[in-house]
Chains A and B, each alone.
Chain A
Amino acid sequence: MDFEALFKQFLSGDVAQQASILRSLTIFLPELVLSSSIVLMLVARLVSLDRIIPTHWFALLGGMTSFVIVLFQFWEFGNSQTVPVEVFTGLAIHDEFSIFFRGFLTFFLVFVIALTVLTGIPDDEDAPDFYSLLCGAVVGMMLMSSANHLLMLFIGIEMASVPSYAMTGFLKGKRRSSEAALKFVVYGAGAAGVMLFGISLLTGILGTAQFSELAPRFQAVFANHAGMQDPATRCVALALLMIAVGFAFKLSLVPFHFWCPDAFHGAPAEVGGFLSVGSKAAAFALLVRLTTSLAGDGSGALSQLSLSSGLGLGLIAIITTTFGNLAAYSQRNIKRMLAYSTIAHAGYMLMAVSALLVLQSVQTDLVFQGNHQENGPRAMEGLLYYLCVYLFMNLGAFAIVALIRNQTYSEEIDDYKGLAQQVPVLAICMAICMFSLVGIPPLGGFYGKAFIFASVYEATNVHWFMWLVLAAGGLNTVISLFYYLRVAKTMCMDSRPADAVPVTLAASSSPAMYVMLVSGMVVFLGIIIDPLSKVALHAAHALF
């Protein structure tokens, strides 16, 4: 092939449903912008530009620009007859689902940067390091959400994880912080190794690493095989289990959750907030993408695969939610409590994925009263809505923790006593976030939960086990009330001890505005549900 042909292929591409390299680069623009802002930040330090322009402006500008580009891509999808394409010769995919998550992540990045500016967690000296790690992690997460290849899956996860390890240990002088980072790294490296092994097994059996090829190959390989006696079946089961371990680590599912409370406890609250929302969202995007491609159209051997993996995830979801809620009950440190609450919420969200897989395992309408085709996208809509609300309510909670820490140097729940008398704004916003985490209308958290429960209920038509999942979800909502309520109670009902460090925050100051904006969004998403729900459903349809 001569140069001209190569160049032509670069420009136009010649494979159906695949974008040319040039087009791929344009689609990849948000990630490129973020990467270049990282480079810019590091160069700016070299030439001491960061003495004149604070580093966070670079990060903020980069985040906003890439968010705007993603918005533009979304608009492009909505308006013209753009079809989903595979980019970079099939390594990644560009559809509404990936756009949704890339938008979600860049939007979240902007909010996290704004929070760190308000709380001043990286000082001027460390700012370039911190923001390059932050932006780098987000690029990794964006890769995760658009991955279309098992290799890309692994690269994305690692790219998101490595900066997270460093950020966890960002408070360099603190022993607990370093310990947390070390724990996180060791666990993470172990889980990644297991996952990589699983990936290679799967690739070996199916002969492909392309997501879109997984289901047909599976169908072909297992057309005549049956039962666990077959070595190939056992091998595939092992591979899936190993990949699941990697996901369970990222999503902090029981029994791979041990790093989570320690990491959150040691890391600054801002980083905790970032990890609890960002990496979770990206991991869910990837999990959904992988499982739906594996499940395919749910015919033949795929039906069994889809059903059993759905039920397996359902079991993990039950254990995770229950464990997370019970463990959170006894926590005295608010960050540890929020860590366990994150674990519990990962369980609720996993219920949506489980319901989706169970629903996809049936092809006929016979067992359903309603329109079966809509069931899968509905389950996804629930998950996406939940994630969006979760962004605000969790970020709000962590932001308030960070703001209070800046004044009292304490993150113990007991030290929050009677804060409503000194800073009513923080107390009210915290109460809103907490009640939304419980899932009480009219706050946003309820709708995500209700939508997910609705899908789980629908899945009970397929398998009785989903009744247990539904019951566990309901019961856990009631259990979780205890510890969320305790925070609200401590802040609003107890009286402030006389010797406690006073906290002051004017309602018109910018941190207060930030907190009000975030918790205001929680209320807003609880009253105006339609727009986001429509966007989420639209994005979910891209998968089916």
Chain B
Amino acid sequence: MSPETLLTCIVFLPAVWAIPLVLFDAKAKEAMRYWGVLGTALTFALTLQLLMQFDSSKSGMQFKFDTPWIANWNVFFSLGVDGISLPLVVLTGFVCLLSMLASWSIDKNVKGYLILFLILETGMMGVFLSLDFFLFYVFWEVMLLPMYFLIGIWGGPRREYAAIKFFLYTLAGSVLMLIAMLMFYFNSDRSFDLLELAKIASGTSAGRSHVYGMSMQVAAFIMLFIGFAIKLPSFPFHTWLPDAHVEAPTPISMILAGVLLKMGGYGIIRIAFPLCPYGAQYAAYFLAALGVFSIIYGAFAAMAQTDFKRLVAYSSVSHMGYVLLGIAVWKIVDGKTVGREYWEMGLNAAMFQMIAHGISSTGMFFMVGVLYDRVHHRDINKFGGIAQVMPHYAALAAVIFFAGLGLPGLCGFVGEVFSVLACWNFSPLLAIVAASGVILTAGYILWTMQRVYLGPEYKGPHPEALVEMNSRELAIGYTLVATAILFGVLPHLLFDPMHGSIQALTQSLASSYETLYGAIHTSQLP
């Protein structure tokens, strides 16, 4: 299959797959579910095919193609993949397949659920693959509507509140992003091409050597950052997350934690940093500090929860803090980037942490969901002794939770340790605080495991329902555990494809900041 067709298929296959669902009889629930699984499996297979065709020795964009979409406004349907987006695309396919398999617990209006689910997948794939800012924005919003309904219709008791909160936060961020997008559009002589915009920012564009002004870069960066920080989520924009995660049905929580949060990190790496290097550097210390604060804040908040799912949700806030920290450790002295390899390590760590969190938090939400499906409550204090009744489940859950904790040998470790190490070059103080966050993480996860899985016997409601996982659940559990161990033991599997792209990114950002710094000092810029 030609790369263009492949990319287009990855984006649109799920949405097209949703169309025949309309024709299914509403009572044929099993058939529709298998149809959905088939669709997500095919999409996942296509992403694997993309992985095969991808040449990890190249650093630039691969398989890039443009087709005019809105010719009047220079908007192109432009897709492409590089080392930064590739792992996320594969992760999306993977998480969607697993959460589709976990969707057997959905019994109400299965048809609507599956259609929205598949449209959601199209939106997510589109975000990671599009190279046109306008197209990116459209896909970013496309994923909003299905998510709103998925939380609002199939969610828990406070679903409407959670759904509208999610919608409102994201829309507010999107409006800011739209304004920033217009800023770049008009300052680049009407272009939405992300690569071209980044080139202009770094001053290496052929025709347009014009560099965006400093004040504009700072303003645009702030707007873009708020938009992405809401998704990431970073303190203080995180308050939608516990509500949305708790109220969403299990498979949707898996997608929320596994994929949606990564869009924030991806947006910062792909758009906010390359398009406004000056603004990014201007805010770097603040970002790193915000990341560290999120780590500590999220861990403390998680420790205080009694709702199992809320705990996992706050742990996401904490874990995504490492992502922000890893991205932001860009140290500049006199216009020159100091220790660029450390920053590179930080970015690598951020990317790795996103994938690792995609696996571990998907797993954690799944594990919570398995329990919830049986006993219909999530109060940690009413659990205990689960390991006695469901030993197989408890063992799998333990591995997943340890992966979240960051135990060496499992995937969570690599990202955390590298981002803290990279931070040492940037600011030892922040590194020390971030490292101490690991202790807090260990604290709340071990304490949770003790309260839920250990203990003499289960005394909460519905003890009779506690039966061992069925084969479908076991398959999901084992897959997650296997990937968690795989990336923990062989992290280079992930580092290899993304290393080149990240190196190119840091190089171009460092040089563009230097150019800009020189221009400021000879005062050519407003």
Contacts and interface: CB of A to CB of B under 8 A. Distances in A.
Is chain B found bound to chain A in the same assembly?
A: yes
A474 B72 contact: no
Contacts of A442: 138, 141-142
Contacts of B68: 530
Contacts of B69: 529-530
A537 B73 CA distance: 11
Contacts of A451: 73
Interface stretch (B144-152, B401-409, B453-461): B144-152
Contacts of A481: 167-168, 171
Interface stretch (A18-26, A72-80, A452-460): A452-460
B138 A453 contact: no
A103 B244 CA distance: 46
Nearest to B173: A478
Given A440-B141, A492-B149, A485 B167 contact: yes
Contact of A457 (B112, B186, B189, B210): B186
A441 B152 contact: no
A410 interface: no
Nearest to B134: A450
B183 A457 contact: yes
A478 B152 contact: no
Nearest to B111: A424
B70 interface: yes
A435 interface: yes
A381 interface: yes
Given A474-B176, A493-B160, A440 B168 contact: no
Contact of A369 (B144, B182, B189): B189
B213 to A, nearest CB: 11
**Is chain B's interface secondary structure helix, strand, loop, or mixed overall?**
helix
B175 A478 contact: yes
Contacts of A446: 138, 141
A470 interface: yes
A475 B145 CA distance: 19
B179 interface: yes
A497 B186 CA distance: 52
B499 to A, nearest CB: 34
Contact of B185 (A454, A470, A482, A493): A454
A458 B179 CA distance: 11
A176 interface: no
Given A442-B142, A489-B152, A369 B186 contact: yes
B172 A478 contact: yes
Contacts of A534: 71-72
A533 B145 CA distance: 25
Contacts of A470: 179
A493 B158 CA distance: 12
Interface in B68-85: 68-73
A354 interface: no
B352 to A, nearest CB: 32
A454 B159 CA distance: 35
Given A435-B145, A457-B183, A493-B153, A478 B190 contact: no
B70 A454 contact: no
B483 interface: no
B152 A493 contact: yes
B33 to A, nearest CB: 20
A477 interface: yes
Contacts of B183: 457
A457 B187 CA distance: 11
A370 interface: yes
A307 B182 CA distance: 22
A441 B179 contact: no
Interface string A291-317: 000000000000000000000000000
B32 to A, nearest CB: 15
A232 B142 CA distance: 54
Contacts of A485: 148, 164, 167
Nearest to B138: A441
B396 interface: no
Contacts, number: 82
B210 to A, nearest CB: 8
Interface string A53-71: 0000000000000000000
Interface in B332-351: none
Nearest to B140: A441
A381 B70 CA distance: 13
Contact of B168 (A424, A453, A454, A478): A478
Given A478-B168, A489-B160, A493-B153, A533 B186 contact: no
A533 B167 contact: no
Contact of B72 (A450, A458, A478, A537): A537
Nearest to A454: B182
Contacts of B210: 369
A19 B195 CA distance: 52
A360 B172 CA distance: 31
Nearest to B182: A457
Given A370-B190, A453-B178, A477-B171, A440 B145 contact: yes
A292 B137 CA distance: 33
Contact of B73 (A424, A453, A533): A533
A369 B168 contact: no
A424 B210 CA distance: 53
Interface string B198-213: 0000000000001000
A431 to B, nearest CB: 8
A28 to B, nearest CB: 32
A393 to B, nearest CB: 15
Interface string A458-489: 10000000000010001101100110010001
Given A441-B137, A474-B175, A492-B152, A530 B168 contact: no
B144 A440 contact: yes
Contacts of A454: 73, 182, 185-186
A424 B26 CA distance: 12
Given A370-B190, A441-B137, A533 B72 contact: yes
Given A441-B141, A453-B182, A470-B179, A370 B172 contact: no
B138 A478 contact: no
Given A370-B186, A441-B138, A474-B178, A492 B153 contact: yes
A446 B186 CA distance: 19
A489 B163 CA distance: 10
A529 B152 CA distance: 30
A458 B159 CA distance: 41
Contacts of B185: 454
Interface in B102-118: 112
Contacts of B168: 478, 481-482
B498 to A, nearest CB: 29
A533 B183 CA distance: 21
Contacts of B112: 424
A529 B145 CA distance: 20
A369 B152 CA distance: 45
Given A370-B186, A435-B145, A530 B70 contact: yes
Contacts of A533: 70, 72-73
A441 B170 CA distance: 13
A521 to B, nearest CB: 17
21 contacts: A369-B189, A369-B210, A370-B189, A370-B190, A381-B72, A438-B171, A441-B137, A441-B141, A453-B178, A453-B179, A453-B182, A457-B182, A458-B186, A475-B175, A481-B167, A485-B167, A489-B152, A489-B164, A492-B149, A492-B152, A530-B71
- By Cβ-Cβ distance, the 10 closest A-B pairs, closest first, are A441-B138, A474-B175, A457-B182, A441-B141, A529-B70, A533-B72, A493-B152, A478-B172, A370-B189, A440-B141
Interface of B: 68-73, 112, 137-138, 141-142, 144-145, 148-149, 152-153, 159-160, 164, 167-168, 171-172, 175-176, 178-179, 182-183, 185-187, 189-190, 210
Given A442-B138, A478-B172, 20 more contacts: A369-B210, A370-B186, A370-B189, A440-B144, A442-B141, A442-B142, A453-B178, A458-B186, A474-B176, A478-B175, A481-B167, A481-B168, A489-B152, A492-B152, A493-B159, A493-B160, A530-B70, A530-B72, A534-B72, A537-B72
